[in-house]
Amino acid sequence: MIIFERERAPYSISTDPARLDLDAIHAFLAHESYWAAGIAKNVLARGIAHSLCFGVYRAGAQIGFARVISDYATYAYLNDVYILSPHRGQGLASWLIECVLGAHLRDVLRILEVCLVYDRRARRYTWHLVVENGREPKAWPGTNVVAVDLGEIHPAVVGDGQQATSISCRERRHEQQGHAKRLAKLSKALSRKQKGSRRERRLKQARSRMRAKHRRVMRDMEHKISRAVIDVAVGQQANRIVIGDVRDIADGVKLGKQHNQQSSQWNHGQIRRYITYKAEAEGMSVELVEEHYTTQTCPNCSKRHKPRGRKYTCGQCGFSTHRDVVGQINILSRYTTGQVGCLRAPTIIKHRIPHNLRVMRRRRDTGQSVMAVARGTGRQSREAAGLMNFYY
Residues that bind Zn ion (CB under 5 A): 298, 300-301, 314, 316-317, 319
346 SS3 class? coil
If the CB atoms of residues 142 and 346 are measured against Zn ion, the closer one turns out to be 346
Which of 97, 298 has the CB closer to Zn ion?
A: 298
Which of 305/364 has CB closer to Zn ion?
305
State the nearest-atom distance from the C-beta of 301 to Zn ion, in Å: 3
ω into residue 10 within 30 of 0, thus cis?
yes
Indicate the SS3 state at residue 177: helix
Please state, in angstroms and rounded to a whole number, the distance separating the CA atoms of residues 60 and 3: 17
Let me know: does 5 contact 16? Beta carbons within 8 Å. Answer: yes
Least Å distance between CB 318 and Zn ion?
7
93 burial class (0-12, 13-18, 19+ CB within 10 angstroms)?
buried
Residue 371 and residue 193 in contact, taking contact as beta carbons nearer than 8 Å: no
Residue nearer to Zn ion on the CB measure, 33 or 321: 321
- Shortest Cβ distance from residue 319 to Zn ion (Å)? 5
CB of residue 66 to Zn ion, shortest distance in Å = 59
Query: What's the Cα-to-Cα distance from 338 to each of 151, 230, 239, 331, 341, rounded to whole Å?
Result: 22, 24, 19, 9, 10
> Whole-number minimum distance, CB 293 to Zn ion, in Å?
14
Q: How far is the CB of 330 from Zn ion (least distance, A)?
A: 12
Closer to Zn ion by CB, 176 or 313: give it. 313
With beta carbons less than 8 A apart as the criterion, state whether 320 and 311 touch: yes
Q: Which is nearer to Zn ion, 151 or 299 (CB)?
A: 299
Residues 6+ apart with CB under 8 A from 145: 160, 238, 239, 240, 241, 242, 332, 335, 336
